[in-house]
Amino acid sequence: MRCLSPWPALLAVIVLASGCATYHQKSAGLRKSWEEGRWQDAALLGSVLEEENADGKDAILFGLEQGTVLRATGDYAGSQEVFERTYERIQAQQTEADVRISQESASLFLNPGETEYRARTYDRIMLHTYEALNAIALGDPPRARVALNRALQAQRDAVAANARRLEEEQEELRAVREETGTDSVQLDQTLTSPQVRNELDRIYAPVRDLRPYAPYVNPFTVFLDGVFFLRQATDASDLERARKSLERVTGLVPESPWLRRELARAERRIAGEALAPSVLVLLETGEPPRREAERLDLPLFVFGVQEVPYVGIAFPVLRFSPNNPGPLTIRAGNQSARTETIANLDRIIGTEFEDRQPLVVRKAILSAASKALVTYLAREQFKDGSTAQALVDLAGILYQASTNQPDLRSWSTLPREIQGMRVDRPESGQLTLSLDGWSEAIAISAPPGMLTIVHVRIVNRRTPPVVHQYALP
């Protein structure tokens, strides 16, 4: 602020904001096609969006969406190519400084959604998990092994990496406050105000009420690791890795008797018992939580200001989808079973959201203060009742309306929940899958083999399910 000429800045921001489509505006057609079950349309739109935004701020997010959509169409090779490009972008991003002052400054004075999207931990883990599933479907176990190793490493590194990143962001934010003059905002006094504290507790209560699994851990990824290394073990260490992964997932999801049976099954296999051919049904169902803006009028304590001003501040909140079709009922010969939850993405995404929430709140307050200060300084230059003053007033209104938004971007084609169940392969190989509300069951013919994976994706009850199957030798 000490070097900012506010009037030109206001005009520049308004012109910029009016001419730039947001991520949600660009991806609206893809999301609509996805939610309506028009998979090929979604894939065509996703391909165009990924190409057009290859060098843009949302390149990673468009890659994540397109890789997921291509999986739904059964184009595993195409999905794998997109995910690998996206992984390379994430790696290149991580070699740079985690936070740049220019990015932080932009997020204070502009819409934070206009800064470069940085992959979240759950993004990276799910990307590697999907790459592993793609490789299994393509009959490429070595590549599946690489993807699962990447996922395991991402989970191991997550706690330290995120703690380091949060610390660096806090340091950069302090530097930006000194550079821009927003250090006059008394953040601690604002945050400890009873009104502010009560309002923040209210809007973030749904996230805080979630029961976390463990910091930055996805139980489905751990489960898949166990299943894969049990089938593809090359030595005793692979078998032990499988056992440990399945043991760990029973600790993460202790309410599932099926997962405990999976661990017992692995222990029998390690002890030398021959296991019968089986069919593993995996269900991805529903939609992930969406980030939405919650606007609150809160007091802002500023050094040297006697009367406490109230400022409209927009905070990001998670809205959880009520849509969660399932479980599936599986009938195979004289067997009947229902899928059980392996991983709930609400809990995974909510845990990471909650970890970052204190810093996000501080940024939102500073951002609102910065924009209010820009508008105030611009108005101070024109207080004569002229046309120029009216234009500045209008510009200030447009500026705050166009930029007073938190970053609401997220990977929207993820499921809400991942479920599973294993049944012995019947001699006929014939199974049926049904769901309450479906007009008819889906018939599955499992090919001969030790393990057939039947993968079902249900976005909502209005759209047809996507069903694919592949073998894990």
C-alpha 108, offset from chain centre: 23
- pLDDT above 70 for 462: yes
Q: pLDDT-derived band of residue 359, with 50, 70 and 90 as boundaries? A: confident
Kindly give the interhelix angle for 141-180 and 101-109, rounded to the nearest 10 degrees.
Answer: 70
CA atoms within 13 A on the CB side of 394: 6
Residues 265 and 280 sit within 8 Å (Cβ to Cβ): no
**pLDDT 10s digits, 43-102:** 999 999 999 999 999 999 999 999 999 999 999 999 999 999 999 999 998 777 555 545
Q: Which helix (H) or strand (E) holds 443?
A: strand 442-445
The answer to whether the beta carbons of residues 128 and 221 sit under 8 Å apart is yes
Please state, in angstroms and rounded to a whole number, the distance separating the CA atoms of residues 138 and 144: 10
Those residues whose C-beta lies under 8 Å from the C-beta of residue 152, and which sit 6 or more positions away, are: 221, 225
Beta bridge partners of 444: 431
Determine the pLDDT at residue 264: 97
**Dihedral class, residue 429 (left if φ above 0, else alpha if ψ from -120 to 50, else beta):** left
What does the block give as tokens for 365? 């307050």
Strands, sheet with 335-338, edge to edge from the N-terminal-most edge strand = 335-338, 329-332, 430-434, 442-445
- Say which residues have a Cβ less than 8 Å from residue 169's Cβ, sequence separation at least 6: 98, 99, 104, 359
How many Å apart are CA 353 and CA 69, to the nearest integer?
Answer: 24
Mode of pairing for the β-strands spanning 335-338 and 442-445: unpaired
Q: What is the dihedral of CA 444, 447, 449, 455, to 10 degrees?
A: -40
Segment 223-239 shows an average pLDDT of: 96
Per-residue pLDDT, 375: 62
The model's pTM is 0.89
Q: Which helix (H) or strand (E) holds 423?
A: strand 417-424
pLDDT on residue 5: 46
DSSP H or E segment with residue 72: helix 59-73
410-453 residue pLDDT tens? 999 999 999 999 999 999 999 999 998 787 899 999 988 899 99
Concatenating the DSSP letter of every residue in 386-422 gives SHHHHHHHHHHHHHHHHH--------TTS-SEEEEEE
| Residues 342, 417: Cα–Cα separation, whole Å | 8
Q: Answer yes or no: are the C-beta atoms of 340 and 420 closer than 8 Å.
A: yes
